Every structure is written in structure tokens, then in C-alpha cells.
Structure 1
Amino acid sequence: MPFLRVNNIDLSYEVAGEGNALLLLHGLGSTKQDWDAQVPVFSKEFKVITVDLRGHGETSKPEEGYGVDFMTEDIRQFLEQLNIGKVTIVGFSMGGAVAFQFASQFPEMVDKLVIVNSGPDFNAMGDIGDQMVAERTKSLNEFGIGPLAEQIAFNMFPEEGQEDMREAFEKRCKQNDLNAYYQSFVTLMKWGLGDKIQKIKAKTLVIASDMDYTPVDFKKAYVNELPNAELVVIKDSRHGVVMDQAGAFNYELYKFLKHG
């Protein structure tokens, strides 16, 4: 796996294909493997770039220095080193927060923006957010990463026939460094764009699952704040739509990239 030194960490990444740059950003506690069902498809027409965000996968896991701001600067320096001046960013969950922040800070570098089961204000999720912080903090402190990884994987892929996805996600989630995961999680839950979302002018596709943790109405509300956005809802899908409904997701993403 290639690495690039950016922002005082070694960032693990992969590039597949040629064409316009398409950067895929994974979710909390996961890795670039979130995109295993997308890379072979989109690399036929695009330069598909996947990374392990700081504290995740094979990328460095510093003792401190976590949060969406750090990850966003990592990505800026990374793209600069690859001589990529314009990119379409697809961000899933935590990756969506980084994509939002990047589009807000560096609008001249963003071609299109795709937000997948995410939001612009993790710090304004109300009771859902407070409960998530309390439960995950308690679980990590008492039992470590293993039981939490098992629970998250089951919540994402509970159906009969989803055993392989569940096991694969649980396995990579269990490999998380406890401190890196916790720091990434608590800083994410303190992050939000606020009114800055209204200044993101990039053409934006928001993809929501009908059974995600947060309801479709939550996504509709912030889509209405974005100047140039559309919402697509994928049915029979939970949080991990890029995996559990990969075909439907790929169809909507491809349509947007080519014709959106």
C-alpha cells in the first residue's frame, strides 16, 4: 500500500483508474474497504482514490490531534501532493462530515459533492447524539472495542443473507486502536458547519437510506439549506448503503456523476 506524508501523519491510500478524480471517504471505525463494491465499477471511467483517514486502517494513529478539521487538512495536503486541483468527493457517514468541511473550506477544489447517510451538524443531533456518545463511551471504557464493533456491525447488517457483510465490517471495526477510535468519535460528535452550509455552491447529491439511524426528514431539512442539492432515498437499506444496496447506490452515483 502506498503512503504519503501529510500533516505529520503517514496516509495510506490507493488509486485505481484514469480520468476525473473521484475521492471516496469512509465512515467512522472503518477503512477504505468500505468502497470495495464501488472501486471496480467507477475506476473504469474515473481516477478513483480511496484513503484510510487519520487513526483508521493503515494510516498513522497519533496519540492526539483528531477531528474533522485535522482530517480535512490531511486531505487538502494529500490532493496537493498528487497534483489534483479539482475533485469530486463522496463521503459516507464520518467521511461525509469531512466532505462537507472540505467543500466549505476549499470550494475551488470541489467539482461535485456526494454525501451518504451523513449530515452537516453532528453536534446538533439532539437526544440521538447524546445517547450515542453516552452509550459508546460506556461500552468502550468497560469492554473495549470488541463488543461495540459487534453491535455496530449487527445494527448495520441484521438481515438474513447479510452475514458476510456483517462479519467483514465487524472484523475491520475490531482492529481499531481504542484511543484513535474514541478520539475520532468524540471530536466528530462536537463538529458542525452551522450556517456555513448555505455557502456550499457545489452541485451536491445527498443519498439517504430509508432505514438509516437518522430519518429521511433529517436529510431533507439540510438539503433545503444547500443552494444546489438533490436528495435520493434508497429503499431496503440501513446505514451501510454503499455495501447493503451497492447496486442501487452505484446506479444513483453514476447517474449523478455523468448527468447531474
Structure 2
Amino acid sequence: MAAVRVHREISGPSDAPTVVLAGSLGSTHRMWDPQVEALSEHFRVVRYDARGHGESPVPPGSYAIDDLADDLVALLDDIGVERAHLVGLSLGGMTGMRVAVRNPERVDRLVVLCSSAHLPPDVWLERAATVRADGVASIAESIVDRWFTPGFSQAHPDVRRAHVDMVAATPSAGYAACCDAIAAMDQRADLASIGAPTLAIAGADDPATPPEHLREVAEGVPDGRLLVLDQAAHLANVEQPQQVSAAIIEHLQGAPA
């Protein structure tokens, strides 16, 4: 499948190193709002909507992780960037790892948040079938229940509602096709070939990709480190924005998190 021209938003100084932020399944570039101000002080920040999401095209059929990687590489080509830092959460982390394996010359440093090199396929095939039958809105509430800890959702009902609305607005065909990509993905054997220094960040309370998934990434990459954040579920960047932003900046600048 040919690469698509994804919707992107760019901020920060044009002459600074570029960092590309790739988001979770069911999200748009707006999921990175908590990081933009801090990262833009140091980097040219590029956020985008994955294919099938937000304002990006929704190609028909199932997708593969290579299709998402192709889109990210095409984005780098389109904005004239030979080499960038990649930061991805969940599906975005899977995409970042694939680009780091396939196109190592395009990746400087890598941050993988709340993601995995492999997830049980049956869960994702079932979710794809549900979404194709009933729409994304039918699962939006339950998805966001896994994105945040109960305490955060109770303390920030407006944030929770905004993310439920974000998930519900995702095109059902695009969401389901990305579920297919996750179901077919197994990058465990490829981790050893990732040459980019990699920071894996886990939410201690993440039910979707628990810390052991990020530990596998950190230990599988030759130059990998693990950071586990307390009081954070799947969208750790929203629940612990200052800690995540600081860890990203320190890693991308070559300092320990």
C-alpha cells in the first residue's frame, strides 16, 4: 500500500533538531498538547495524525505496521528532514520501532512510551470486528477507562471527556484497520537491530501495555533504558506531563532520564 500524506502540525524553531511525535490508536496529534510547549523550547516539534485518524486520509482495507512506517518516512521526506528523533506512544511507539529497524539512517534517538513489540492478536482482531460492526463510539468509554487511572479520571473529568470524544471521532474504518496492523505485528526479534539509543517509558498502572512490555523493549535494544512512572496508565504523557516531557528532553539531548 502506498504511503499517504498525513496531517501534521509543526511548532518550535525551524533550525532546531526535529522530533516527531506519533500517537496512540484512537488519538489525534492533540494528544501531545501537554508536551508541545516544553519540547518546542529545544526542538522543531512535528505532530501528526496517523492514517485512518483525525484529518489524515483513510485508505480502504487493512493496514500493516509497515504502512504506518512508510507514512512516517514519507512525512520526514515531505518536510525535508533526513534524520529525526522519534517519540511514539502505543501504536506510535510500534511505528517508531519499525522505522528504527527498517530505516536506521532516518532515526537519531527513539522514545517508546506505553507500547509493545508484540500483543496478543486475538484481542485486536476482536476489537476490529466490534468497531466495524458497531463503530468506534461504542468502545470509546471503555478505551479511555484504560488510558487513565481512576483517580485521574475522577479529578479531571473534562480531560477524560475530551479524550472520549477524540476516540469516538476516529473513523471506524481507520481504527479497525490499525487494529489489524497491531494484530499482525511481532517486532520482538527485531529489537536487537535497533541502533538508536532508546528510552522506554511505562506507566506503572497501564493495563494495556504493562511495564514488562516496555522492559522487554529496553532490554532487547542494545542501547535501551527503562523508566517506569507511578500514578500513570496508558496515556502517561497526559497523566504525568512534566515527568514525561523532562524525560524526553533529557534523553533526546543525550542525558540520563
Corresponding position of 2:190? 196
Q: Distance in 1 between matches of 2:56 and 2:6?
A: 5
1:130 to 98, 122, 130: 122
Q: Residue deviations 1:193-244, cap 9 Å, x none?
A: 2322101111100000101123322322332111000000000000010111
Equivalent pairs counted in the alignment come to: 249
**1:15 is paired with a residue of what secondary structure?**
strand
Q: 1:66 to 1:130 in 2, by over 3 A?
A: closer
Question: Which stretches of structure 1, 4 residues or more, deviate above 4 A after TM superposition?
Answer: none
Confirm or deny: 8 A CA contact 1:93 1:116 kept in the other structure.
Answer: yes
**What does residue 36 of structure 1 align with?**
33
Q: Tell me the residue number matched to 2:203.
A: 209
Give the Å deviation of 1:10.
Answer: 3.4
User: Is residue 217–residue 224 contact of structure 2 (8 Å, CA) maintained in 1?
Assistant: no
What is the Cα deviation at residue 66 of structure 1? 1.8
Which of 133, 140, 145 is the matching residue for 1:154? 145
Q: Within 5 Å, which residues of 2 pair with 1:59-98?
A: 59-64=56-61, 66-98=63-95
Instruction: Structure 2: give runs of 5+ residues left out of the alignment.
Output: none
Task: Determine the structure 1 residue equivalent to 2:158.
Answer: 164
CA distance in 1, matches of 2:33, 2:132: 31
SS at match of 1:10: coil
Identical counterparts, % of pairs: 26
Q: How far, CA to CA, are the matches of 1:73 and 1:196 in structure 2?
A: 17
Contact 1:14-1:50 within 8 A present in 2 as well: yes
TM-score normalised by structure 1 residue count: 0.90
Cα distance between partner residues in 2 of 1:8 and 1:115: 22
Q: Distance in 2 between matches of 1:17 and 1:247?
A: 18
CA RMSD of aligned residues (A): 1.8
3-state SS of paired residue (2:47): strand
Q: Could you state the TM-score of these two structures normalised by the residue count of structure 2?
A: 0.91
Which residue in the other structure is 1:174 paired with? 168
Deviation per CA, 1:152-210: give whole Å up to 9, x if none: 11232332213122111111111111111111112222112232210111110000010
Partner of 2:137, secondary structure, is helix
- State the Cα deviation string for residues 54-91 of structure 1 (Å, max 9, x = none): 11100011112522111111111221121101100001
Describe the shift of the 1:132–1:253 C-alpha distance in structure 2 as closer, same or farther (beyond 3 A). Answer: same
Preserved CA contact (<8 Å) 1:153 1:166: yes
* Cα distance between partner residues in 2 of 1:111 and 1:141: 37
Rounded to whole Å, the distance in 2 between the matches of 1:149 and 1:242 is 19
Gaps of 5+ in 1: 1-5
Among 237, 251, 257, which residue is 2:232 paired with? 237
Give 2:131's match in structure 1, choosing from 140, 145, 151: 140
Higher relative contact order (CA 8 A, sep 6+): 2
